[in-house]
A and B are shown apart, each in its own frame.
Chain A
């Protein structure tokens, strides 16, 4: 194997490793670390009650 071949092989290896590092870093930065429980906890809630439904319930008679 000539020096030039080894040189090309080393450059390709180096570029592959660089690509691997970039890919891993990107994957780590875009993957959410939140657990299912945390996702459930931060789900927003609506702090109001449907007055229309309550009004409709008032119109009902007791069985």
Chain B
């Protein structure tokens, strides 16, 4: 079998020698072999090396950029620290408007206080489920997600009283030290009331807070 194969291809082997002596065939063969060799090494040796060089170059540039941006940020943080020192006196105001904890009991008292000071009767006060300790959301969300958005306490109020008193309570709620947003408010005639001037107010609002403490961030 081996002899048969050898005899079959022997004539081709014998033709290679004389054929390569012809200048144009030798030139073609050398060029083709050179190009295939270049292609082979280009694909498996030169390409990964060149790619690595460009990747490293890009990495160096990126790290330089990070370094420069971080230097700028350090400068800005120092400025921010100075600015922070300046507003130390106003910090209770800010923390009052947007506390770092839900501060639910004081908020509840505040809403009741608004109702009593405006002489309106509070029929119903409902709060959506809130996590007073703030543990559930901490487990679910990433630290950056917690940082980026304030948490909310959604509440609904049903109160009745005279129009001006209701309006005054609404104003007091909006201008209070705690940041409150009124999402919805409806006024209607209170059918249960003895006087026709008594109105019923249905209110849906949101109070906000940031869970993270400044000490924890540091």
Contact = CB atoms under 8 A, between A and B. Distances in A.
B47 A21 contact: yes
B36 interface: yes
Contacts of B53: 25
B182 to A, nearest CB: 15
Contacts of B69: 42, 44
A45 B76 contact: yes
A14 B38 contact: yes
Contacts of A58: 90, 93
Contacts of A16: 39
Interface residues of B, number: 52
Interface residues of A, number: 41
Interface of A: 3-4, 6-7, 10-11, 13-14, 16-18, 20-21, 24-26, 28-34, 38, 40-42, 44-49, 54, 57-63
Interface of B: 25, 28-29, 31-32, 35-36, 38-39, 42-43, 46-47, 50-55, 57-59, 62, 65-66, 69-70, 72-73, 76-77, 79-80, 83-84, 87, 90, 93-94, 96-97, 110-111, 113-114, 144, 172-173, 175-178
